[in-house]
Amino acid sequence: MPKNVVNPEFLPILEKMPSFDGLSGRSLPEVREIFMTSVRLIEGKPLPDVEVQEEYVPGLKGAPDVRVLVYRPRKRQPNAPAMVYIHGGGLVSGHPEVDDPKCQVLASRMGFVIVSVDYRLAPEVKYPGAIEDCYAALKWMNDNAAQLGINPDKVAVAGESAGGGLSAALALMARDRKEYRLAYQLLIYPMLDDRTATKVDPAPDFGEFVWTRSANKYAWEAYLGSAAGGDDTPAYAAAARAKDLSGLPPTFIGVGSMDLFLCEDLEYARRLMASGVPTEVVVVPGAYHVFDMFVPEAELSRRFMDAYCAGLRRTLGL
C-alpha cells in the first residue's frame, strides 16, 4: 500500500519510526530497544492534577508479585470509576510507562483510578503468565476497592495492541470465573488472533507499516511456542479463539484502516454483535498501527479518543 494512502498528519512520524519487520532475525534485547526507541518519540509532560504511584500486587498461585502503576486524580471523588490498563509491545516488550501519557489523560479527563499492569513478557514467560498477571491486578483492584476509593461496578479494562488482546482475554476470564465484574472493554487495535500471519496471511494491503506480518508471527510464537496458529490455542491466549462471546461487557473496538489487525478486529466485533454484546466500532482512515500513540495531536487521533471516552461515559454513567 503506497504511503500516499496514509493520512498526511501521520506521515512525518512514520519516516522516523524504526521498523519491526524481521524481528525473528534479531536478538530480544534489540527487539525491545526498537520498541523503546519508538516510544521515546512520544514522551509527554506529567499532568499536575494526576498522581502516580508504584505498587506490587500479589501474583496468582504463587507467581511473583506484579508491578503496577496506579494513576489517581489528585482531587478524589467517592466511588470513582476504575480501569485496568494493559500496555502493548507484541507480548514481548514494553512496560506501563509506555502508556503514561494516555493513562494520565484518562485519569484527568474521566476521573478514573487506573491500574496499569507490568505483566511478564515472552519468551521468558510464555502463556499464561501475562494474562494471569493481568487477572492478579484486577483481583487486587477489587479486593482493595475501599482503600482505592473505587466503585467495583464501574471497572473497565483497556489496552492497545497486545494489551488490547490481553484486555479481551481478561474480559473472557472475568466472565467465566464470575469473581469480578467488568463494566466495559476498550480494545484499541487489539491483537486477538494468533492465526493472523502464522496460519492465515492477511491481504497485502494491511500491516505494511510499523507492526508487520513477520513481527506478528515472531510475537505469537514467542508467547505460544510451536502451538501458535494451531488448532488448540486457548481463548485466554487469543480471544478470537473463544467459541462463545455472549455475556461480555459493552465493547469499543477501534483500529486503523491500514492496520494488520483490521480484519481480525472487525470479525471479532461482528461476532460480539451477533452474540448480543453492545459494540461500537471505529475504523480510522489512513491510519497505521499505534497511530494515536505516536501522533496524539492529530485531528483523527483526538476524534478517536473522544469516541471511546464518550463510550465510557455513556456506559458507565459518568
Q: Answer yes or no: 259 catalytic.
A: yes
Helix (H) or strand (E) holding 52: strand 50-57
Q: What is the pLDDT of residue 2?
A: 55
Q: Answer yes or no: 194 catalytic.
A: no
* 10-314 CATH fold: Rossmann fold (3.40.50)
- Please give the grid coordinates belonging to residue 209: 507499516
Q: What is the pLDDT of residue 40?
A: 62
pTM of the full structure: 0.94
Domain boundaries, the chain: 10-314
Q: What is the pLDDT of residue 304?
A: 98
Question: E-strand spans in 136-190?
Answer: 150-160, 184-188
How far is it, in rounded angstroms, from Cα 218 to Cα 185?
26
- Please give the grid coordinates belonging to residue 249: 461487557
Q: What is the pLDDT of residue 208?
A: 80
Closest of 84, 273, 106 to residue 173, by C-alpha: 84
Marked catalytic residue, from 38, 116, 193, 289: 289
How far is it, in rounded angstroms, from Cα 262 to Cα 122?
24
User: Please, are residues 210 and 17 in contact by the beta-carbon 8 Å criterion?
Assistant: yes
Reported as a single tens digit per residue, the pLDDT across 99-131 is 999 999 999 999 999 999 999 999 999 999 999
Walk across the sheet containing 50-57 and list its strands.
Answer: 50-57, 66-73, 113-118, 80-86, 150-160, 184-188, 251-256, 279-284
Bridge-based pairing state of the strands 184-188 and 150-160 = parallel
How far is it, in rounded angstroms, from Cα 120 to Cα 315?
31
Q: What is the pLDDT of residue 3?
A: 65
Q: Answer yes or no: 244 catalytic.
A: no
Marked catalytic residue, from 100, 259, 265, 292: 259
Closest of 47, 148, 159 to residue 105, by C-alpha: 47
CA dihedral 190, 143, 54, 78 (to 10 degrees): 90
How far is it, in rounded angstroms, from Cα 6 to Cα 168?
28
How far is it, in rounded angstroms, from Cα 228 to Cα 198?
7
Closest of 101, 106, 73, 103 to residue 86, by C-alpha: 103
User: Please, are residues 73 and 107 in contact by the beta-carbon 8 Å criterion?
Assistant: yes
How far is it, in rounded angstroms, from Cα 89 to Cα 161?
7
Per-residue pLDDT of the chain in tens (318 residues, 90 and over written 9): 556 688 899 998 887 776 676 666 566 777 787 767 666 656 667 788 999 999 999 999 999 999 999 999 999 889 999 999 999 999 999 999 989 999 999 999 999 999 999 999 999 999 999 999 999 999 999 999 999 999 999 999 999 999 999 999 999 999 999 999 999 999 999 999 999 977 776 666 787 888 888 889 989 999 999 889 999 999 999 999 999 999 999 999 999 999 999 999 999 999 999 999 999 999 999 999 999 988 899 999 999 999 999 999 999 998
Marked catalytic residue, from 161, 194, 265, 301: 161
How far is it, in rounded angstroms, from Cα 20 to Cα 212?
7
For 156, other C-beta atoms within 10 Å of its C-beta total: 27
Helix (H) or strand (E) holding 113: strand 113-118
Closest of 301, 217, 293, 298 to residue 260, by C-alpha: 217
